[in-house]
Amino acid sequence: VQLQGSGGGLVQPGGSLRLSCVGSGFTFSTSAMSWVRQAPGRGLEWVSAISVTGGSTYYADSVKGRFTISRDNSRNTVSLQMSGLRPDDTAVYYCAKGSQCGTYCFDYWGQGIRVTVSS
């Protein structure tokens, strides 16, 4: 199982960024997916999740209305469109795969994508 993330970088406050994560080595279309972030020197914070079909999406209150999660099962890809970025969104963002024990029961994680929001 591999989860390969891309799309991070430096963005100004108020700006937008799109993160992507490509899964391989498992049946992507039957796995719920999440994004979890970690601010510098801090712990883990769940950000967003999407169901296997993409028909249901979920967001932490801290990002609701600013972030949009989506998936393309034909390309084994989950994405996170981030807009209205704030300095406190600065973090490493991980995609995480849900498992048989539940949507938020994570068994594999991507390598992390660094996002820096600063002027």
Partner 1 sequence: DIQMTQSPSSLSASVGDRVTISCRASQDIRNFLGWFQQRPGKAPKSLIYAASYLQTGVPSNFSGSGSGTDFTLTISSLQPEDFATYYCEQYHTYPPTFGQGTRLE
User: Which residues lie near partner 1 (CB under 8 A)?
Assistant: 36, 43-46, 58, 60, 94, 96, 99, 101-112
| Tokens read off for 3 | 């989860």
Q: Please, which residue, 26 or 68, has the CB nearer to partner 1?
A: 26
| Alpha carbon separation from 57 to 74, 79, 94, 100 (Å, rounded) | 18, 12, 17, 18
Q: Please, which residue, 15 or 58, has the CB nearer to partner 1?
A: 58
Q: Please, which residue, 73 or 99, has the CB nearer to partner 1?
A: 99
Query: How do 33-38 and 44-50 pair as beta strands?
Result: antiparallel
Q: Closest separation between CB of residue 77 and partner 1, Å?
A: 18
Return the DSSP state at 87. G
Q: Closest separation between CB of residue 100 and partner 1, Å?
A: 9
Q: Which residue is associated with the tokens 């080595």?
A: 25
| Tokens read off for 108 | 């594999």
Q: Please, which residue, 15 or 103, has the CB nearer to partner 1?
A: 103
Residue 31 near residue 49 (C-beta atoms within 8 A): no
Q: Closest separation between CB of residue 61 and partner 1, Å?
A: 8
Q: Closest separation between CB of residue 108 and partner 1, Å?
A: 7
